[in-house]
A = this chain, B = another copy of it.
Amino acid sequence: MKLYGYFLSSAAFRVRIALNLKGLEYEYASVNLTKDQHRTEEFARVNPQQAVPTLVDGDRTLTQSLAIIEYLEERYPKPPLLPASVDARARVRSIAQLIACDIHPLNNRRVLVYLKKELGLHKQQRDDWYRHWVIEGLRPLEKSLSTSEQTGSFCHGETPTVADVCLVPQIFNAKRYEVDLGPYPNLLRIFANCMQLEAFDRAQPSKQPDAE
């Protein structure tokens, strides 16, 4: 398998964690977003959407991080990253999507670039924007995790799931932008538990070959 990613991409980070948790070996191909390497014709031949992560598995080219992870779950089911029961799967996917649909899309690189270049926002305004959407998402997530009996050492029970796979890159990102994480003790507790695992630790941005 070959993963096209970038060390700072949260979505690529999710796929790295999932591959590691499932014990799947992969070749890492760096696509430097700050150098617009995703906009090259060469990369357009790999993924016409010109976005990372892109996973090539045999003759399949897979895009969109959560679709890739669902694919891995179906193709390589052990260990599972989704619980067995339908209700629990819905809970885990809902947590994952709160992060992947409600927080991350507003704060990824292309958006921050637009705020700066097209709208001419200064740094304080961009930082306020960033923190606003992180807090809008993490606040209900903390509330939801802290009041559910299904929350355990991880977002759901005692083994990592897709929810944790999404949470950890989001917390890394929030730390990078110096968001005060004090109000989210459960998220920090789960984050710490995840980072004890080699699969999460090895996937972190600073440990990638293209880390700067």
What is the interface of chain A, defined by CB distance below 8 A to chain B? 48-51, 60, 62-68, 70-71, 74-75, 86-87, 89-90, 93-94, 96-98, 100-102, 104-106, 110-111, 114, 118-119, 121, 125, 128-129, 132, 136, 140, 143-144, 147
Contacts and interface: CB of A to CB of B under 8 A. Distances in A.
A49 B121 contact: no
Given A86-B74, A105-B106, A147-B48, A94 B132 contact: no
A144 B49 contact: yes
B64 A89 contact: no
Q: Is the interface of A mostly helix, strand, loop or mixed?
A: helix
A114 B115 CA distance: 13
A193 to B, nearest CB: 23
B105 A93 contact: no
A162 to B, nearest CB: 10
